[in-house]
């Protein structure tokens, strides 16, 4: 089974319970999603763009961040690989322009955008795929565009290993497996990837797991 198929099936299964999980209903993931509404608001606020700006969102999920973006007056192009998640999002936001795709497979014919956002999705890519994705995303931005992500990232590898061990000791076997299986990276590795793609990037930790990543495209001479 390919990684793409695996993660699509995983999120098809999770679609029904996703909103409950992010609200704290899953004990193992409660700290991962701690302050979830605040995390989404931080992403939306970090855009700081004029109303009517076009924002591309990867990993729309059930449409929670999307709703905030639309309320802020942005035009949103949504991209989501999970059919079950797309169905949930369309039920909440029937007028949303929503496409089947992901970071490594963006549908043809989409316009350039003013910003690209994502929450809890970029970690599905291996580090070398993150590099390629950022290079591609940079080409999809209008001049001076911005990328804003919120995702699980670790300060360093030692912190990552410590969090894995803590999850195992607390009996959080699903979370421990997730921390080993997924491609969670470090602040330093992500900073390097954004810089190589032509961005100035800053990080802010929002809970024990999640960091806000705000990257502004460098102006070309």
User: What backbone phi and psi angles, to 5 degrees, belong to 110?
Assistant: -80, 145
Of 166, 104, 110, the closest CA to residue 140 belongs to 110
The answer to whether residues 218 and 186 touch, using CB atoms and an 8 Å cutoff, is no
Taking CA atoms, 31 is separated from 4, 11, 103, 115, 207, in Å, by 26, 20, 26, 28, 7
The answer to whether residues 77 and 113 touch, using CB atoms and an 8 Å cutoff, is yes
Max CA-CA distance within the chain? 54
- Give the span between the Cα atoms of 161 and 170, in whole angstroms: 14
- Annotated binding-site residue? 59: yes
- Annotated binding-site residue? 145: no
The answer to whether residues 15 and 87 touch, using CB atoms and an 8 Å cutoff, is yes
Q: Which residues are annotated as a binding site for S-adenosyl-L-methionine?
A: 59, 80
Q: Which residues are annotated as a binding site?
A: 59, 80
């Amino acid at each position: 089974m390919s990684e793409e198929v695996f993660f699509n099936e995983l999120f098809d299964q999770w679609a029904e319970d996703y909103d409950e999980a992010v609200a704290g209903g899953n004990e193992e993931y409660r700290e991962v999603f701690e302050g979830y509404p605040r995390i989404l608001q931080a992403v939306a606020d970090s855009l700081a763009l004029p109303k009517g700006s076009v924002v591309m969102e990867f990993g729309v999920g059930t449409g929670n961040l999307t709703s905030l973006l639309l309320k802020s007056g942005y035009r949103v192009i949504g991209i989501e690989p999970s059919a079950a998640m797309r169905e949930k999002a369309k039920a909440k936001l029937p007028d949303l322009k929503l496409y089947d795709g992901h970071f490594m497979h963006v549908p043809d014919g989409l316009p350039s955008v003013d910003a690209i956002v994502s929450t809890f999705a970029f970690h599905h890519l291996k580090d070398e795929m993150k590099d390629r994705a950022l290079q591609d995303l940079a080409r999809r931005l209008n001049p001076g565009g911005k990328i804003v992500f919120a995702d699980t990232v670790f300060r360093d590898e030692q912190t990552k290993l410590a969090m894995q061990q803590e999850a195992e000791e607390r009996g959080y076997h699903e979370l421990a497996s997730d921390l080993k299986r997924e491609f969670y990276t470090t602040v330093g590795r992500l900073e390097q990837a954004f810089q190589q793609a032509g961005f100035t990037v800053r990080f802010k930790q929002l809970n024990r797991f999640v960091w806000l990543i705000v990257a502004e495209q460098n102006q070309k001479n």
